[in-house]
Amino acid sequence: MGETSGRKLMVEVCNAKNLMPKDGQGTASAYAIVDFDGQRRRTNTKTRDLNPQWDERLEFIVHDKDSMASETLEVNLYNDKKTGKRSTFLGKVKISGSTFVKSGSETVEYYPLEKRSVFSQIKGELGLKVWYVEDDPPEAENTGEQKTESAPPAEEKPPENPEGEIKKDEAEEKKQDENKPKEEPQEEKAKEEAPAETASPQPEPSNPPIVQTEKLKQANERHHEVVKRVDLNVSDRELCSRSGDRSRGAYDLVDRMPFLFVRVVKTKRAKVENGSSVYANLLIGTHSVKTKSESESKDWDQVFAFDKEGLNSTSLEVSVWSVEEKEGEEKKESCLGTVSFDLQEVPKRVPPDSPLAPQWYSMDSETTPGNELMLAVWIGTQADEAFQEAWLSDSGGLIAETRAKVYLSPKLWYLRLTVIQTQDLQLGSGSEAKFRNPELYVKAQLGAQVFKTGRTSPGSANPTWNEELVLVAAEPFEPFLVITVEDVSNSKTVGHAKVHVATIERRTDDKTEPKSRWFNLSSEDQSRSYTGRIHVRVCLEGGYHVIDEAAHVTSDVRPSAKQLAKPPIGLLEVGIRGAANLLPVKTNDGTQGTTDAFVVAKYGPKWVRTRTITDRFNPRWNEQYTWDVYDPCTVLTIGVFDNGRYKRGEDGKPHRDCRLGKVRVRLSTLETNRVYVHSYSLVVLLPGGAKRMGELEIAVRFSCSSWLSLMQAYASPILPRMHYVRPLGPAQQDILRQTAMKIVTARLARSEPALGQEVVQFMLDSDTHMWGMRRSKANWFRVVGCLSRAATLLCWVDRIRTWVHPPTTVLVHMLLAAILLCPYLVLPTVFMYAFLILLLRFRYRQRMPENMDPRMSYVDMVSLDELDEEFDGFPTTRPPEVVKIRYDRVRALAGRVQTLLGDVAAQGERLEALFSWRDPRATGIFALLCLMMSLVFYAVPFRGFVLVAGFYYLRHPRFRDDMPSIPANFFRRLPSFSDQIM
């Protein structure tokens, strides 16, 4: 704020007890950094003392009395090392502004030191005195000085000036920089250190507020909003750990949503009848919620979260009821007492403040006095730790299928089985085995996957295959790989062997071949324990990336082996803000339409699912998630669905989730360290045509700490090395991709709560390999669009050649002459023109990441029959007459493609006929022409020939003939192989 409120906050750092030794000699040299409302102060360093005594008083200015209760005082302790070394972290204390007392009531309070991460080794207590004093408003001349002491406001508070920043005086900024230690990186080890300080600690990084400029306001009018961060100041290790640190910048891409939290713990009663149970009832206006009933322990310990904007009352009433049930009698309920709260007086809690402790409240009751209820009531946001476990009023209560969840895809491996040979096969008994010529093959089965080798030639005594079978294995692995030798001639199994998957060798490259192994074959009916043996080589390939999604929307390219994975190059943060104008997709009690929407976001192996907001067409989730980024040329996929699983049907089975639309964001189209906030249209393709289901608003930020690492990623291969040194065939890749998709779908469907099969398939685009008329048309027009650039260039050349604009044609003549006279300037001129064109088009670049285009997808220009064909399964389920019509249509389309392919092949065959003497006269003419041209080019300079040929090509139309040229007639008369096709 521009003016102070006349109030000062006084903080006395008294002492610390039992600190953790951090200097390697059993002691620590501690100092404290105190932050409040953008202001920072530092104490002196107490050398080599685990129980330091400071007794230093620090003064802070309170800019706004009303918002002081929502501010947080943070004290960080560091071990001060020598100059040039890193200062280690000793612990921190955070105190809410609502606990500050007025001058005269202050006392020394000891706070346990908190960890910054789960790996920190912290212990001890910190003694503090915190109070505030009222002071006269400062004079005008001093106001400016006090302004400069304040840093930019916290991220959750919007900036007050148009630029969204508060400028600071350079001298004061320098002074603060000298007193700010950098935020310590989080490591996997237990030891945690703060960044190095040279002469003094460096400033601690923080995310500046979001800035809106005039251009952004104009973009908002077009439903676009591009928000740029001034400077993230995030180190490499911090970048990887910020996703788990919800207290620093967690919810800065979404709006904070106020919730009323009520934690009901337990009750004490004077008398309880045998067989009775008790429950608590929460009543806020029209909202009435009951806790679970308890008969013995009477401990509920349940948390309820009410959407504050949806409350229609200013009071909360919590009552406890006793329920007595006897056989043959009606259930009797009696009230044991009531506690009322005025919502205007409920305290606010801002994480990372410590949770509010429950208290005992006396209940008002005329019949049973003396009862007490333990509970806690506070107002918080979705960043509150209790939010994840709370009963939510906007999600229909405490239902597993409506909760926000994070899922992980199973880790996939390629299992390579090389079948070498078999020996000593026992095909039967007596003369049957002696005179029969068996035709054998080997079958490998892993779970539901079955792959077979080719058949051996009949009569082979010890058949040899040397064939490779590649399967997909998912952790946790199936217990056994079953290898079976089968006889085609009599459709019987010769024998089978089981290979324990956990014992299979894992390799990361192709330099070392896995050892081959012999396995004994046994009969399935157990009548014969030995039927031969088989020689195989089997291994788990860790150098491949198992593709489990469509190639054009891949989000992860890392190899299966963890030791081959590279460190992340950035952090992807996604804020799922809300949706607008959703259409009803089902009926509520058969009367009115409703939508229970939730969002699923998928990037890499991590899937996130927001909570379901029931019965709203404009839901607001305001949930934020993060992913590590290993490759910038990947795609984030976000889908919106209607929840049908939290309600069971008449048969007791859950309904299917209905898809409402999908959004894709390619990370390479995002600028680093910039926030994009945009509403995307949700379009879903149904058998009745494309339908707009509403809009989804999301915020995306791609943060990268090293520009060099980002540029190196563009020069690296897309897939791991094994895909290039030992590539898999296209058909094999397609089969393995479909297999991997099925495995991921089955695993996520078995989660609790389940992520439905229809959701996973829609997010993975599992049906992109299926043929459809609409997709064929869309791809055809994509090809036409790419060729339109060349067609435009040819049209421009033709207009020059036909002298449509004579000055342009004259200039082209001059340009041709200049090129021939100064050929060394051709390439520099071309590249300079390309640079200028790119520079000119920079201002017309896309400001927002693009989503799927319904027009490009051809969804509005396709018939209903073609859509029905696309939604038909494989194999088809339609009646024979419909299949016949569609088959005839495909035949007609394939006939045109067949003719086009024949014409293209004929041109190549005519060119080949010039040198093959298939037409002796034509080849003879061409040979004489080559001899003449060699003599001409020997006598005539090449530049002169090109100049004459160019001028001849650009001659005026009055000097041309309307008939085709002689070379064109000659080439078209050359023979092709079309006449030899039957």
Q: Which CATH number fits domain 7-134: 1.10.3720.10, 3.40.190.10, 2.60.40.150, 3.30.230.70?
A: 2.60.40.150
Dig out the tokens for 85 from the structure. Answer: 């070394």
pLDDT surpassing 90 at residue 625 = yes
Q: What is the pLDDT of residues 413-467, one digit of tens each?
A: 999 999 999 988 887 665 455 556 778 899 999 999 999 998 887 766 678 899 9
Q: What pLDDT does 571 receive?
A: 93
- SS3 percent helix, strand, coil of the chain, rounded to 5, is 30, 30, 40
Closest Cα to residue 570, out of 666, 706, 674?
A: 706
Q: What pLDDT does 272 receive?
A: 54
User: What's the CA gap between 372 and 365, in Å, rounded?
Assistant: 10
pLDDT surpassing 50 at residue 505 = yes
pLDDT surpassing 80 at residue 226 = no
CB atoms within 10 A of CB 216: 17
Dig out the tokens for 607 from the structure. Answer: 């899937």
User: What residue spans define the domains of the chain?
Assistant: 7-134, 258-393, 415-428+437-541, 562-764, 773-980
Angle at 795 between CA 792 and CA 799, to 5 degrees: 140
Q: What is the pLDDT of residues 777-825, one digit of tens each?
A: 777 787 777 777 788 888 888 888 888 888 888 888 888 888 777 877 7
Q: Where does the pLDDT of residue 3 fall: very low under 50, low under 70, confident under 90, or very high at 90 and above?
A: low
Q: DSSP code of 587?
A: E
**pTM tops 0.85, yes or no:** no
CATH of the domain spanning 258-393: 2.60.40.150
Q: Which phi and psi (to 5°) does residue 577 adopt?
A: -85, -55
Q: What pLDDT does 81 receive?
A: 75
pLDDT surpassing 80 at residue 848 = no
Taking residues 170-188, report their average pLDDT: 40
Q: What pLDDT does 809 receive?
A: 85
Counting beta carbons within 10 angstroms of the beta carbon of residue 372, is it exposed (0 to 12), middle (13 to 18) or buried (19 or more)?
Answer: middle
Percentage of the residues of the chain whose pLDDT score is greater than 90: 25
Domain 415-428+437-541: homologous superfamily in CATH: C2 domain (2.60.40.150)
User: Is 415-428+437-541 the same fold as 7-134?
Assistant: yes
Walk across the sheet containing 440-446 and list its strands. Answer: 449-452, 440-446, 480-487, 492-500
CATH class of 562-764: mainly beta
Dig out the tokens for 554 from the structure. Answer: 């891949």
Q: What is the pLDDT of residues 137-170, one digit of tens each?
A: 444 334 333 333 333 333 333 333 333 333 333 4
Q: What pLDDT does 397 receive?
A: 72
